[in-house]
């Protein structure tokens, strides 16, 4: 279970990007986070694994307070959180297998990584997962030879290789065409169920969010202003989430203060 | 009726005409007065011209009689160049990482940059003079000199390449909990490998050229052979050596250019 309490992220002296935000993701559910650009979706996700350092607040993953981890503990802790990226973040010049195995780098020694001597069970797991998403025959291809959808499959498998306790996906389909995008969303939903894995997805496409998630969180200017079932996301709720621009919100807040 | 202008002039580089013409005049005055006041002894130059005539006269036809010496000199130069390139690249890689702002913390970055700046600030001939004094005449001084020269060039360009990498894969490895070295090996190395190989080949070619120069101040190789030939007034042999140097450099440049084009 992921539990975030009063999370604040502030860059410099300006207004915080995240304002006293609370979020709980209990079990195996797919949560979509929607909101206009600049609402803080990406910052929220990156605070969870501390790719972005939170200013204050607590983040508990199955009992561990991630905000209190030291440098080394954080590195070990990050193995428990898988992440999928908008631009895939694969290493183009490495093979698909090497990219997949890079999800295990936190577990294997630097020497094993350098000499590509991966443990047998890691190789088996990689082939199983690649088979599951239909890219096993690409194991020896270079990552830049693959299409966008195939590349994101590699990205997802790499994250799953960590055997994570939660999966974070930062706009995983924003660089893909609509059809491929649906395939990846289907894949994320199905894998989440099969592996009993909670998934948090930042997404711009509201229809996809409604179709593929168990719960939707709407963010506007650093706060969660909607949290409920996809059916509950009415036109009014949508308008509230997407209405206005961050700039105007900022003015309003300024007037209130 | 259109009243559009039909004349247009490019704006001068310096807008203020007084400053512009003043600057031109100042440059002319400076060049003329400097040349006039430098202690140039025209008599000696005239004598030197006849001496130059004797040298060139003595150099023709070039003599390849002592080609064994020539070949030995070249092989030594080649060995110096290869060893210096290997050593220079091995040392350049960690220095380049130290000098890449996106990889290391600021204090380490300054150390890395400082090493590169020092390695670059002296011409190989000056470095060679120092090393010849330090370790004596011969190829070892040449190797050390060219290692310094290689670091100045390879580490600097490699550091710039490292700073240009796509940060995405690094972020992904970090998110997976990868240790620092593993992250470098998986996310950074593959992105700079191509440039690294290209730089290595270019540097080999460049070291071969430089090894001929540093040999003249005593750091071994064909340069030493050439300096000896001059010292012994064997101008015909010296010309032969010079011709072969030019030939070898042309060939090595063509080969390295072809290889670098292939891997690009």
pLDDT value of residue B132: 84
So where are chain B's domains?
A: 17-57, 63-263
How far apart are alpha carbons B29 and B31 in whole angstroms?
A: 6
pLDDT value of residue A249: 57
- Interface A–B counts its CB contacts (< 8 A) at 83
Mean pLDDT of B66-80: 85
Taking CA–CA distances from B178, the nearest residue in chain A reads: A106
Q: Which of A85, A110, A113 sits opposite B172 (nearest CB)?
A: A85
pLDDT value of residue A256: 46
Q: Tell me the CA distances in angstroms from B157 to A128, B135, B146, B186, B188, one per residue in order.
A: 42, 29, 17, 21, 15
Mean of all residue pLDDT scores within chain B = 87
Distance from A256 to chain B by nearest Cα, in Å? 38
Give helix then strand counts, H and E, for chain B.
Answer: 12, 0
Distance from B190 to chain A by nearest Cα, in Å? 6
pLDDT value of residue B218: 78
Q: Do B168 and A114 touch (CB under 8 A)?
A: no
Least confident segment among B37-46, B109-118, B120-129, B188-197:
B37-46
Interface mutation vs chain A, best among B175, B181, B187, most A CBs within 10 Å: B175
Contact indicator for A217, A23 with CB cutoff of 8 Å = yes
Q: Using CB atoms and an 8 Å cut-off, which of residues 148-207 of chain A contact chain B?
A: 155, 158-159, 162
> Tell me: the pLDDT tens digits for B216-262?
887 778 888 888 888 888 888 888 888 888 888 888 888 888 887 88
pLDDT value of residue A246: 53
ipTM for the whole complex:
0.88
Q: Which of A49, A93, A106 sits opposite B190 (nearest CB)?
A: A93
Tokens of B99: 């000098």
Q: Do A110 and B190 touch (CB under 8 A)?
A: no
Q: Which of B178, B185, B191 sits opposite A114 (nearest CB)?
A: B185
Q: Do B190 and A92 touch (CB under 8 A)?
A: yes
> Tell me: the pLDDT tens digits for A87-101?
999 999 999 999 999
Mean pLDDT of B87-98: 94
How far apart are alpha carbons A113 and A24 in whole angstroms?
A: 36
Q: Using CB atoms and an 8 Å cut-off, which of residues 164-223 of chain B contact chain A?
A: 168-169, 171-179, 181-183, 185-187, 190-191, 193-194
Taking CA–CA distances from A105, the nearest residue in chain B reads: B178
pLDDT value of residue A257: 42
pLDDT value of residue A247: 55
pLDDT value of residue A254: 53
Q: Do A102 and B172 touch (CB under 8 A)?
A: yes
Q: Of B138 and B103, which is predicted with more confidence? A: B103
pLDDT value of residue B264: 63
Mean pLDDT of B36-50: 83
Q: Which of A77, A105, A108 sits opposite B173 (nearest CB)?
A: A105
Pairing of strands A223-228, A215-220: antiparallel
The list of chain A residues with pLDDT below 70 reads 244-257
Contact indicator for B216, B227 with CB cutoff of 8 Å = yes
Distance from B191 to chain A by nearest Cα, in Å? 7
Mean pLDDT of B140-156: 91
pLDDT band at residue B61 using 50, 70 and 90 as cut-offs: confident
> Tell me: the pLDDT tens digits for B197-226?
888 888 988 888 888 888 888 777 888 888
pLDDT above 90 covers what percent of chain B?
A: 37
E strands of B142-257, at which residues? Answer: none
* CATH-assigned architecture of domain B63-263: Orthogonal Bundle (1.10)
Q: Do A106 and B183 touch (CB under 8 A)?
A: no
């Amino acid at each position: 279970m992921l539990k975030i309490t009063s999370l604040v992220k502030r860059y410099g002296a300006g207004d915080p990007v995240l304002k006293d935000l609370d979020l709980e993701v209990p079990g195996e559910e797919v949560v979509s986070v929607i909101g206009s650009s600049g609402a803080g979706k990406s910052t929220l996700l990156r605070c969870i694994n501390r790719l972005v350092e939170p200013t204050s607040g607590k983040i508990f993953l199955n009992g561990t307070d991630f905000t209190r981890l030291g440098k080394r503990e954080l590195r070990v802790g990050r193995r428990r959180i898988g992440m999928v990226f908008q631009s895939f973040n694969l290493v183009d010049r490495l093979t698909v297998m090497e990219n997949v195995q890079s999800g295990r780098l936190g577990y294997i020694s630097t020497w094993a990584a350098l000499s590509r001597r991966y443990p047998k069970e890691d190789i088996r797991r990689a082939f199983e997962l690649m088979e599951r998403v239909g890219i096993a025959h690409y194991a020896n291809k270079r990552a830049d030879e693959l299409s966008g959808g195939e590349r994101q499959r590699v990205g997802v498998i790499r994250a799953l290789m960590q055997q994570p306790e939660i999966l974070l996906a930062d706009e995983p389909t924003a660089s893909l065409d609509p059809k491929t995008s649906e395939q990846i969303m289907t894949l994320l939903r199905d894998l989440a169920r099969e592996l009993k894995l909670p998934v948090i997805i930042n997404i711009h496409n509201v229809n996809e969010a409604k179709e593929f998630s168990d719960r939707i969180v709407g963010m506007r200017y650093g706060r969660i202003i909607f949290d409920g079932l996809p059916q509950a996301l009415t036109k009014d709720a949508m308008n509230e989430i997407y209405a206005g621009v961050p700039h105007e919100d900022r003015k309003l807040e300024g007037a209130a203060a | 009726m259109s009243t559009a202008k039909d004349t247009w002039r490019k704006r001068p580089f310096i807008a203020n005409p007084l400053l512009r013409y003043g600057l031109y005049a100042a440059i002319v005055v400076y060049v003329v007065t400097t040349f006039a006041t430098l202690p140039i002894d025209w008599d000696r130059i005239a004598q030197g011209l006849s001496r130059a005539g004797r040298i060139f006269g003595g150099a023709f036809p070039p003599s390849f009689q002592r080609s064994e010496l020539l070949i030995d000199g070249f092989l030594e130069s080649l060995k110096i160049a290869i060893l210096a390139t290997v050593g220079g690249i091995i040392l350049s890689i960690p220095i380049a990482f130290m000098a890449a702002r996106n990889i290391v913390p600021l204090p380490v970055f300054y150390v890395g940059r400082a090493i590169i700046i020092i390695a670059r600030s002296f011409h190989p001939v000056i470095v060679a003079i120092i090393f010849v004094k330090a370790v004596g005449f011969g190829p070892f001084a040449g190797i050390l000199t060219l290692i310094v020269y290689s670091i100045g060039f390879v580490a600097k360009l490699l550091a710039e390449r490292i700073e240009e990498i796509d940060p995405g894969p690094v972020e992904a490895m970090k998110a997976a909990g990868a240790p620092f070295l593993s992250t470098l090996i998986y996310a950074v190395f593959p992105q700079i490998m191509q440039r690294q190989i290209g730089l290595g080949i270019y540097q080999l070619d460049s070291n071969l050229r430089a090894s001929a120069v540093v040999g003249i101040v005593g750091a071994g190789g064909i340069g030493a052979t050439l300096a000896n030939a001059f010292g012994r007034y064997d101008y015909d042999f010296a010309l032969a050596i010079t011709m072969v140097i030019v030939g070898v450099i042309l060939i090595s440049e063509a080969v390295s250019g072809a290889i670098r084009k292939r891997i690009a």
